[in-house]
A and B are shown apart, each in its own frame.
Chain A
């Protein structure tokens, strides 16, 4: 029982980090970046190639993956989304789906569809015993990373000048530019942060589930998107809570109900939450007084 809870929280932490990327991009740029899951996959391959083939130390391989994904995220935004800044949200959504397939197919060309066995990059972390329960180093590393990321992001958006500028851009781009805030630059920064997080998520995900394929990011991407909606899209703690709950529900469903049905159960819970609370668990109520 507790074992399941721990692996649920661990899986949920990965979803949470991916969901943070989704939620930040949605919160600032008001778009769903459906290619976010595939950036995870690219991050996985970047870490795999440098860490496994080139034998780079783990920290360097992870750093390399973060840099690759950050640059990739910014470039995608510039080339694919920025020209559509004033287009309908449907056009942007379709473009994002296109980018997603594009990344998957590029990965297919470079790395073929043969799965790669991803080395556990968190194996250097020792396991911990609490009473009779053993927590693996991978689970521990994943959860700690998730907490650090969330605290750092919260501090960044609440306390720093750039973070506050992001919140103004999220609310009113025109008024933000009247303050002297470079709206395009701020959106780029958001994509950079979100994509950098995706790289970290990629390494964590592949360390726990060591099969790396061009489609590796797709399903976790969709689930993390679900987690973001579940927690209230646009909300940082919401993404965190949504991600962890989703992970726990998924593992429990697999353990006690049915492995095949676990995904269906996860999405069923999402539907119920949205019926009861359409803005998600921590969704923002807009307080506006005129």
Chain B
């Protein structure tokens, strides 16, 4: 494994009066797939959104690529090499597929992005077929591919995927996970948040289990797949 690229230490986040994240610490090393699993409302998405700068941390530290991210606004984080593919996909519905990809590369030079667009189309041939289409007319699976492609357009050192399989038919879920595995193989570092714990653990190098804003368990993906408490709580026994 490579060096630690993301290190979160004793992070606390409040949503108004709700103490959503209560002192979590985790790290991601270069080349790894790390997953955060947990029930709805455990704080998985909140963690990612805080790391990406969309939410403010109350206390704790977030270090990425050797530099602190605390107080850095979301739009300045992308340029440092971190992309978040947000929950619910949030593609720009009124822009075309290609325009969505261009926006993913907003922080990069115009001259560099043509190759990246081709690379994304190679990975997601469906997007190439529909490059002129308005994103709002794509199916859920295609929108997910677009959201991932868009995140990859910034050439991130770390890509964070928030519930990429949410709301998709089983066959599409398999497809999305295949793509995640491919990304991993090609050397991309991935932090994955999933409710589908079975699938997430089976592809993850390491995993953390979140419960009501705290990390209650961690280990390699395989170890947690066979852990009794994890099996009972998240894998249906």
A178 touches B102 (CB 8 A): no
Check A178/B167 contact, CB under 8 A, given A164-B103, A167-B95, A286-B136: no
Check A168/B103 contact, CB under 8 A, given A178-B78, A288-B136, A289-B136: yes
User: Which one, B74, B93, B143, contacts A178 given CB within 8 A?
Assistant: B74
A181 touches B93 (CB 8 A): no
Whole-angstrom CA separation of A167 from B93 in the bound complex: 10
B106 partner residues in chain A, CB cutoff 8 A: 161, 165, 179-181
- The answer, yes or no, to whether A5 is at the interface (CB within 8 Å) is no
Number of interface residues of A (CB under 8 A): 23
User: Which one, A174, A175, A287, contacts B134 given CB within 8 A?
Assistant: A287
A61 CB to nearest chain B CB (Å) = 37
A171 touches B75 (CB 8 A): no
B50 CB to nearest chain A CB (Å) = 13
Q: Interface segment, B6-14, B79-87, B173-181?
A: B79-87
Whole-angstrom CA separation of A93 from B119 in the bound complex: 46
Whole-angstrom CA separation of A288 from B91 in the bound complex: 11
User: Which one, B54, B94, B143, contacts A177 given CB within 8 A?
Assistant: B54
A161 partner residues in chain B, CB cutoff 8 A: 102, 106, 110
- The answer, yes or no, to whether A134 is at the interface (CB within 8 Å) is no
Nearest A-chain residue to B94, judged by Cβ: A171
Nearest A-chain residue to B153, judged by Cβ: A179
A residues 172-204 near B (Cβ < 8 Å) are 172, 174-183
Number of interface residues of B (CB under 8 A): 35
B residues 181-199 near A (Cβ < 8 Å) are none
A5 CB to nearest chain B CB (Å) = 34
User: Which one, A171, A178, A183, A290, contacts B84 given CB within 8 A?
Assistant: A178
A156 CB to nearest chain B CB (Å) = 14
A residues 73-90 near B (Cβ < 8 Å) are none
- The answer, yes or no, to whether B99 is at the interface (CB within 8 Å) is yes
B120 partner residues in chain A, CB cutoff 8 A: none
User: Which one, B90, B102, B137, contacts A174 given CB within 8 A?
Assistant: B90
- The answer, yes or no, to whether A277 is at the interface (CB within 8 Å) is no
B140 partner residues in chain A, CB cutoff 8 A: 289-290
B104 partner residues in chain A, CB cutoff 8 A: 179
A288 partner residues in chain B, CB cutoff 8 A: 93, 136
- The answer, yes or no, to whether B223 is at the interface (CB within 8 Å) is no
Whole-angstrom CA separation of A204 from B79 in the bound complex: 44
B153 CB to nearest chain A CB (Å) = 9
User: Which one, A172, A181, A290, contacts B90 given CB within 8 A?
Assistant: A172
A165 CB to nearest chain B CB (Å) = 7
Whole-angstrom CA separation of A182 from B104 in the bound complex: 13
- The answer, yes or no, to whether A30 is at the interface (CB within 8 Å) is no
- The answer, yes or no, to whether B154 is at the interface (CB within 8 Å) is yes
A175 touches B86 (CB 8 A): yes
- The answer, yes or no, to whether B138 is at the interface (CB within 8 Å) is yes
B154 partner residues in chain A, CB cutoff 8 A: 179-180
- The answer, yes or no, to whether B92 is at the interface (CB within 8 Å) is yes
- The answer, yes or no, to whether B139 is at the interface (CB within 8 Å) is yes
Given A164-B95, A172-B90, A175-B86, 11 more pairs with CB closer than 8 A: A161-B102, A161-B106, A165-B103, A167-B94, A168-B95, A174-B86, A178-B75, A179-B78, A284-B94, A287-B136, A288-B136
What are the nearest 10 A-B pairs in CB distance?
Answer: A180-B107, A180-B78, A177-B74, A287-B136, A175-B90, A177-B75, A180-B106, A179-B106, A179-B103, A182-B75
| Chain B residues engaging chain A, CB cutoff 8 angstroms | 52-54, 73-76, 78-79, 83-84, 86, 90-95, 99, 102-104, 106-107, 110, 134, 136-140, 143, 150, 154, 167
24 contacts between A and B (CB under 8 A): A161-B102, A165-B103, A167-B94, A167-B95, A168-B92, A168-B95, A174-B86, A175-B92, A176-B75, A177-B54, A178-B52, A178-B78, A178-B86, A179-B103, A179-B154, A180-B107, A180-B154, A181-B75, A181-B106, A182-B73, A183-B75, A287-B134, A289-B138, A289-B140
